[in-house]
């Protein structure tokens, strides 16, 4: 990490380039560590000689090396892309710092994991002022840079939320999410009970027109592929069910839309389930969707496997429906395959099966041929009546007497008048 020698943002600051930033371009360094400073300001600092590396003037395209010292002008000179002074982040209150630290359920050199409560947005937006992104300054701990969000949860969804503590860790985790090697397990309470207790929902999703992108819907024609696996953990008669959900893709509101699409909306999700998404009695009207577990490869090569406890309203609903929380963690099966991978696997399996069948048939033919050959060797051959058994060939003519002159050509013996061969 890059460490500053001065903490006053109105003063000149010096940063030492860390190992994780070795070889990075200077403009990329600013994007990583001082994202509020636009490229135009970095270029202006370079032109006026205010930006220096080891005392020498630097340009945005220069490559940094580990151990070099970067001089950065006062932050109040930084201008945003609109030409106005960059707005500093507000200072966090003691209550906000205490809240942020209380959410942490795992911490190491590269990763932070928090248990996000329901009602707290991941990032800010219109009329959204309280969010996880605004609390990240409280989660720097011994580092000088803020942790980075690498994925999101809906505002009303609780549970595991992963943060990266360095730029390299952020790139590593982002790649894992994009390549779909991450295992995400959610718990939900749904209305009714699916007829199939262990199944897949494969319905493409798209933004619903007229909602400003705030709502999704099933769109078979133009929607992006979306796939969810669900497993029923327990059922409360036909009234409700406790299910495990595993998204195999990461579409916006995917789990909520898919469950509503098959007629079993998540309890408390009025956005997609309407009035049918609420149970009567003492069941909370809050949404019952919780990111229970996240398994991802850590940058150091070991798997990071984290579980998050349930929020109070979800735990109370389990108790009201007669469910035991200890029975909810089903075995994590092998990673699911995409449809293309399944097609390849089926084709390979069929080819292997056909090969085994051909091999077995060849073995049977060899065995039959071998048995037939053995039988032929043991059994006497049939022959015409009166024909002698096979044996050495015999001449039907009488044998000649082989005296002293037997085998010689006529006229070549003694007294023939011809000389003999010596």
C-alpha to C-alpha distance for 181 and 175, rounded to whole angstroms: 9
Q: Which of 21, 62, 145, 154 is catalytic?
A: 154
C-alpha to C-alpha distance for 42 and 60, rounded to whole angstroms: 7
C-alpha to C-alpha distance for 297 and 176, rounded to whole angstroms: 8
Joined together, the tokens standing for residue 285 give 């009207």
Joined together, the tokens standing for residue 333 give 């099966």
* Residue closest to 23 by CA, chosen among 55, 61, 51, 76: 61
Task: Please report which residue ranges of 103-143 form alpha helices under DSSP H.
Answer: none
Please report which helix (H) or strand (E) contains residue 259, including its range.
helix 254-261
Q: Is 137 a catalytic residue?
A: no
Joined together, the tokens standing for residue 170 give 């952020």
Helix 26-33 crosses helix 39-47 at what angle (to 10 degrees)? Answer: 130
C-alpha to C-alpha distance for 256 and 287, rounded to whole angstroms: 10
CA dist 14 → 8, 337, 362 (Å):
11, 49, 78
C-alpha to C-alpha distance for 75 and 10, rounded to whole angstroms: 6
Residue 376: strand pairing partners:
none
C-alpha to C-alpha distance for 392 and 41, rounded to whole angstroms: 112
Joined together, the tokens standing for residue 379 give 């059994």
SS (H, E, C) 15-66: EECCHHHCCCEHHHHHHHHCCCCCHHHHHHHHHCCCCEECCEECCCCCECCC
For the chain, how many residues are written?
Answer: 422
Catalytic residues: 154
């Amino acid at each position: 990490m890059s460490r500053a020698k001065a903490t006053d943002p109105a003063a000149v600051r010096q940063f030492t380039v860390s190992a994780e930033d070795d070889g990075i371009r200077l403009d990329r360094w600013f994007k990583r560590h001082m994202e509020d400073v636009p490229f135009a300001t970095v270029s202006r600092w370079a032109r006026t000689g205010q930006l220096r590396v080891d005392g020498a003037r630097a340009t945005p395209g220069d490559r940094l090396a580990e151990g070099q010292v970067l001089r950065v002008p006062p932050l109040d000179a930084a201008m945003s892309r609109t030409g106005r002074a960059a707005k500093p982040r507000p200072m966090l209150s003691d209550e906000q710092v205490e809240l942020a630290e209380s959410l942490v359920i795992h911490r190491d050199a590269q990763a932070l994991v928090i248990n996000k409560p329901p009602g707290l947005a991941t990032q800010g937006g219109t009329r959204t002022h309280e969010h996880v992104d605004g609390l990240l300054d409280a989660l720097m701990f011994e580092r000088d840079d803020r942790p980075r969000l690498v994925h999101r949860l809906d505002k009303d969804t609780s549970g595991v939320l992963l943060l990266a503590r360095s730029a390299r860790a952020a790139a590593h985790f982002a790649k894992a999410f994009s390549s779909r090697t991450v295992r995400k397990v959610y718990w939900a309470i749904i209305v009714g009970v699916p007829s199939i207790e262990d199944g897949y929902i494969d319905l493409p999703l798209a933004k619903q027109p007229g909602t400003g992108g705030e709502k999704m819907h099933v769109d078979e024609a133009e929607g992006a592929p979306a796939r969810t696996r669900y497993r029923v953990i327990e059922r409360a008669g036909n009234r409700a069910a406790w299910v495990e959900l595993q998204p195999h893709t990461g579409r916006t509101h995917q789990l909520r839309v898919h469950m509503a699409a098959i007629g079993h909306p998540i309890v408390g999700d009025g956005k997609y389930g309407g009035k049918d998404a609420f149970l009567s009695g003492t069941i909370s009207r809050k949404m019952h969707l919780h990111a229970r577990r996240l398994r991802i490869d850590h940058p150091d090569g070991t798997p990071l496997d984290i579980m998050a406890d349930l929020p109070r309203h979800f735990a109370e609903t389990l108790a009201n429906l007669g469910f035991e929380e200890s029975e909810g963690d089903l075995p994590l099966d092998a990673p699911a395959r995409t449809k293309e991978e399944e097609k390849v696997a089926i084709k390979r399996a069929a080819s292997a099966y056909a090969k085994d069948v051909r091999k077995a048939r060849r073995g049977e033919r060899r065995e039959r041929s071998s048995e037939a050959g053995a039988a032929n060797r043991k059994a006497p051959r049939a022959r015409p009546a009166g024909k002698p058994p096979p044996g050495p060939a015999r001449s039907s003519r009488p044998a000649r007497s082989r005296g002293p002159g037997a085998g010689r050509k006529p006229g070549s013996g003694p007294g023939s008048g011809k000389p003999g061969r010596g």
